[in-house]
Amino acid sequence: MKKIVYRNVLAEAGVSGADLEKRTWECFEAIFHGPDRFYFEAGPDMAYIEDTGNLDARTEGMSYGMMMCVQLDRKEEFDRLWKWVMTYMYMTEGENSGYFAWSVSPEGVPNSHGPAPDGEEYFAMALFFASHRWGDREGIFDYSCWGRRILRTCLHKEDSGRGRNMWDRENHLIRFVPELDFTDPSYHLPHFYELFSLLADPADRDFWKKAAGASRSYLRRACHPVTGLSAEYAAFDGEPFTGMRDVFGRHDWHYSDAYRTVANIAMDYCWFGAARGESWQKEIAGKVRKFFLETVAEAPRGIYTVDGTALEGKALHPVAITATLAQSALASDEPLSDGALRCVRDFWETPLRTGERRYYDNCLYMFALLALGGNYRIY
């Protein structure tokens, strides 16, 4: 693997190193320990991240919290979160044994006995990074062992005759949930799969290498050729998924989940694409920025079909849009274009969100801050 240069886009936009460090730790304290936090300690050695809009703990948020902690070298908070996950989310019985219940009450009671694959992939990556930063210990703190174990379950659940794999082993694409054959474009993390191809069980490493390539191809299909927008849920051919509205509601539009897609594409460019001279990530990121800066520039952040048609209603997470648009600047040329620079400066001038919906926005804000400052790194 070639040496990675972690680009400091905020410095390119005129932010000093001292100001970046100050903002980073202010955001960490706000999320984890301040009066508006959504990290809550539970007893002497556990803690959970609360989705403040839904009043539960989700594998999404728990794994996000763990990734923030390992990036910032906060081992105590990481271990507290991981122990809560293993105490209340890890399933040992039923067809989903070996997976994690995606939604659990703050008291530790599962709201569902089904998993969400984005949690598993973030858990595994955070655990591998923890192993490399802090070293493996015993039990659940044998981080690398658990990272490999999670990925093994994700690929080989069907071998047990109970449950389904999280990845389709034929097309190498992640499923929205194991039992359904469609996906969520924002779940696709080819930059993680590249690393899994080095860190997973040796027998599975070829699969993960192919999964990285398959997800890159998929993202190019799933992002609209003009706007660059992706849907929340999409079929394996990349078309927005219009089915099962009686179960899930509408998700064929560019809405909350979908904001993460361009940020993930930018991270793939930062970690791997730039060194290979790839350009597709820059093209998609540029289209998304153009859509928000030019096509809907004067309108409040809203809801859109992937072709850019505005629908009724406002975005539930406008700060998340600001954060991911800024993060998209990682996939851009140097020096920053006027559009990329505008997005980065807009982000820097935007505070963390307050109120009941602050969880999702502020998680994506923190990831953008780390990434744009060159501090979202491979360990």
* 228 within 8 A of 284, measured Cβ to Cβ: yes
Q: Dump pLDDT digits (tens) for 146-183.
A: 999 999 999 999 998 999 999 999 999 999 999 999 99
Predicted confidence at residue 160, as pLDDT, reads 87
How high is the pLDDT of residue 273? 97
Our answer to whether residue 201 is catalytic in this structure is no
CA distances from 51 to 45, 122, 194, 263, 270 (A): 20, 17, 29, 20, 29
Active site residue 232: no
SS3 of 170, please? Answer: coil
Would you say 115 and 99 are in contact if contact means Cβ atoms under 8 Å apart? yes
Opening angle at CA 92, ends 108 and 156, nearest 5: 125
Examine the pLDDT at 99 and tell me if it is beyond 80: yes
Among the listed residues 252, 257, 268, 361, the single catalytic one is 257
Q: How confident is the model at residue 292 (pLDDT cuts 50, 70, 90)?
A: very high
User: What average pLDDT does range 51-63 have in this prediction?
Assistant: 98
CA distance 133 to 234: 36
Quickly count helices (H) and strands (E) in the chain: 15, 6
Residue 376's pLDDT band, with cuts at 50, 70 and 90, is very high
What pTM does this model have?
0.98
pLDDT band at 1, cuts 50/70/90?
A: confident
Alpha-carbon span 116 to 186, nearest angstrom:
12
Please state, in angstroms and as integers, the Cα–Cα distance from residue 86 to each residue in 58, 81, 94, 164, 331, following that order. 13, 9, 16, 21, 36
- Annotated catalytic residue: which of 60, 194, 232, 252? 60
d(CA 292, CA 259): 12
Mean pLDDT over residues 224-236, rounded? Answer: 98
